[in-house]
Amino acid sequence: MIQAYDHIQIAMPEGQEAVARQFYGTLLRMAELPKPDLLRARGGCWFRSGGAVLHLGCETPFHPARKAHPCFVVDDLEATQSLLEKAGHPCVRADGERPGILRFYTSDPFGNRLEFQESEGPREQSVR
């Protein structure tokens, strides 16, 4: 049976790869993955951070996903929210809707809904 997700795909408008790279690559610090040669001509771009893999595919006509969405688990929800809000992406908190989970929603530059979450409780300190 199913063991994991390989990736999630959301849509973006054609020709907006630079905007996607700025938001997902630069702002959210996701690494861009090279697309296979056979798929590169379709446009879009792919990103990864940790185990989260996101494919952005071009869709015409484009309609943003306002309900369906990826949910990214982060290690510092407050810092992520601050980063997004400073970049002009309003965030709506949804704490308490799921026990033990702190979270918020925002939208990418194309209007796609995104969720970010962190488990409530003490944060483990990483050793550097």
Would you say the pTM of this structure is higher than 0.85? yes
The backbone torsions φ and ψ at residue 18, rounded to the nearest 5 degrees and listed phi first, read -65, -40
- At 126 the pLDDT is 39
Q: Which residues are CB-contacts of 26 (< 8 A; sequence separation ≥ 6)?
A: none
The DSSP output letter for 110 is T
- At 121 the pLDDT is 67
In 22-128 the beta strands, taken as DSSP E runs, fall at 31-33, 45-49, 52-58, 71-73, 92-93, 101-107, 113-119
Please list the pLDDT of the chain residue by residue as tens digits (128 residues). 988 889 999 999 999 999 999 999 999 999 999 999 999 999 999 999 999 999 999 999 999 999 999 999 999 999 999 999 999 999 999 998 999 999 999 999 999 999 999 988 655 443 33
Pick the CATH number of 8-119 from 2.40.10.10, 3.40.50.1780, 3.10.180.10, 3.50.30.20: 3.10.180.10
